[in-house]
Amino acid sequence: MSASEFIQSEIRSHAVVVFSKSYCPYCTRAKSALASTGVRGKDIAVHELDKMPNGAAIQAALSFTGATSVPRVFVGSRFIGGGDDTAALAASGKLKDLVKAAGAAV
C-alpha cells in the first residue's frame, strides 16, 4: 500500500485522524484539543510519523492538504487544519460538534 493509499484508508476508516510527531508541541496541542472532546478508541487514529518506518513518505504524501507540516488533522474525512486550527475549533466549541457529526462517540 502506498503512502497516499494508507492516508486515504485511514481517513475513511476513522472519524478522526491525526498525523503527528511525538515530540512536536503543535501536535500535542491538537491531540489535547481532540481529547477535550472525549473522542477515543476506534473513532480516533493518531499516527506518530517519527515512529513509523514509512513516516517520511506519509508526511510527503500529505501535501494534498496544502502543506506537509504536522499535525494534519482530519475529522469526518475532511481536513480541518493543524494544531492552532484544531485548538481554535475546540475553544469555540465547534470541534466537539464536528467530531459528533463525524459519528464519533463523545
Q: What is the CA radius of gyration of the chain?
A: 13
pLDDT in the model for residue 106? 77
The pTM is what?
0.96
Q: How far apart are CA 33 and CA 5, in angstroms?
A: 27
Q: Which residues of the chain have pLDDT under 50?
A: none
Cα four-point dihedral sign 80, 85, 87, 90: negative
pLDDT at 31: 97
For residue 43, the model assigns a pLDDT of: 95
Q: Tell me which fold the domain 3-101 belongs to.
A: Glutaredoxin (3.40.30)
